[in-house]
Structure 1
Amino acid sequence: MSTHPAIRALRVRSFRVYVLGQLPSVTCSWAQVVALAWVVVELDPRALGWVVALQFLPSVLFGPWFGAVVDRHDRRRLLILAEAGLGLVALYFALADLTLPLIYVLAGVWGVVNALDTPARRALVPMLVPADLAASASALTGTVLLVGMTTGTAIGAAMITTVGVSATFGLNALSFLLDIVLLLTIRVPESPRVRRAPGQIREGLRYVWRTPVLRGAMVVLGTIGTFAFTVQVSVPTLVRDGGAGLVGTAFTVLTAGGLVGTVAAAVHGRPGPRMLPWATLLMAASSGLTAAAPVAPVVLVGIGGIGLAWSLIIAAVIATLQTADPSMTGRVMALFSAVLLGGTACGGPVAATLADVAGPRAPFVVGAAAALAVATRLNVARTDRTGRTHGRDTGRREDLLHR
């Protein structure tokens, strides 16, 4: 009986162990997301956008540099160091008496360490499997991410209403310790190190900019991430009157929708640029539904659609970026993180301001408009390419007739 292509990477022991460490780590990290969002909303809802910005802005400022560092050094060692740093921050969240200034500091430290963690992790995954299983490994790590997010948000919602936020942060710290232990047990080939040289960061930026398919994927990611997927601010702000339980439920529905999309992408095999117009159109429709929803159940349907659309967009963008030259992987994925998390960092304050000035539904209206604009542009570009191809084919047929 043959193994489905989507799960063939699990045959490789190193990748299986890696996934085994990732699942509890991602799960507990998203439990922490719910706990931290609830703490901040209780202290001052207007501060949530700035907390999100501090968590993700370092990826914009330091991400490209960390990507160059990843390409120069041992990727597993860097990942272990980053995991240890994130675990220490989670432990401090658990033990400290949290005030807004302290939360700002811890969020900023978390963001700096995460700016190293993300490119190191994404550059390590292709090294754990043969080249022909890289697409399967990428899809599976996305599935693990969404499974962990779905489970974690549900666990976070349950824990903050039962054992409290400190226990939620403490559990996350323990999950990083487990991940480090498992990373130490896997066998990884020697990292393809790039010798240090001037201009490597600029070289990575130029490479992406001069490669149209990579550049287009980054533009879509940045636009949607900044204006449409501001859920860490917009979702708890919209449903906060329903209490901690509804906040947790909304995040769970969001990530459940994302899980459906990620599983669909994994079964499909390797998604690509052709998926982006449809995914962005779904994002526009779901954001519009959330903005216009008259009751909480309809809001949850819209939020689930946003999660579904976002997972399809991410899957298509990652699959596109993984076609980059292997010597550029660290820098390309660092730029991916910078655009993704930078969009979140910029979008958080924007969403918080819109909600404060125009009401909690305003961020979803803006998100729907941005996604619709991107979908329209992608469809126009695809039509132009199809027309040029058709024109070339017609020209060739006419040449043959004249001969």
Structure 2
Amino acid sequence: MTPHEIEHAAAAESVNPHRLSVVDRYRLQTWFLGIIAFSMILFMLVAARFILISLVIAIILFAMTADAINAFSRLRIGSWKLTNWVASMAAFTLIAVLLLTLSGLVISQVNTVVTTTAAYTDQGITAIARLAAWFSPEAEAMVETSIRSIQVSSYLSTLAGQASNLLSATTLVILFVGFLFAERLWFNTKLENLLHDKAQAQRVGRIIHSIVRRVNHYLLVKTGVSLATALAVYVLMEGFGLDFAGPMAVLTFVLNYIPSVGSIIATIILGLITLIQVNDPATALLVFVIAGMIQFVLGSVIDPMLMGKALRVSSFGIIISLAFWGALWGIPGMFLAVPIMVAAMIVCSHIPSARPVAVLLSREGLPEIEEMGSVAGVEPVVRQAAE
């Protein structure tokens, strides 16, 4: 509709003030279309979540090795130079070996838990029911009856089935990573041809580099802290002579990638496992307190100190992101919630109309100042907003 037609329609509608104006109808139509588009996107995210989760993980793994490949490709050993193709093949082989090794480790630990959990079923039910006895004897009987009505074997078989699906997901991730490595050599050329503007392509490239740098730093720090926490939990359980030290260390390592919630869940599970095995509330409480102190020191002191300003995102935004992606993609979505949130915040910070979203997602309300300042034509606006 042209401006002349809008003015003509507005003049005609002024005769009947009870009718919606053209602008109101346009806004209402836009809202309806937005709701429909959002619903379709949610449906696609849920329907294709297996492929999308594998693709996001592959992109993250590819991005983590891209800078390393570029650095190795510039090395020279005498007259011999490591080509980009050789570096890419070496990185792809390393990623494939690591993923298959981790998948095999997780599957073996899950099988260990499944085969030995049945022996602790009755002992675990008695220990949990004894906790309820602190409230009243009736509560103990009620809790024991309720737990015994749960089909533990069915849940164990479901857990084993999910572990077997991990191998197929790992294979799909490796295939995606391989295709991404094959396309990386022509990415800049495709970006310039797609945008038809070299300056705009460079600006988009800097945005992508900013996302990769921030996410890589977050994942490297999180991996180091999670590994240290897992080793501490393993030593703690071995020191008290507890079973499942290996599976619990792996579970702690994995759960620590979920901000805030993961460490709490890992500590509670460790306390319950201790209570079931030793059948002594005092010992279980001691292990629970020590594990909580380990999680607090590494997660609340060391982690923020190493993270620095690489993750300037809102704590409330992290919880919302965890809830949203957890509802869509389950546990894998909770692992990917923070990297996706960081990427969304950086992209929105470079789009003027979407910058309020980036401000809400950022911790200090000033997202991506230094990266935006490096983009031509944006620095004055960002500095003015910061002031």
TM-score (norm 1): 0.28
Structure (1 or 2) with the greater helix fraction: 1
Query: Rg bigger for which structure?
Result: 2
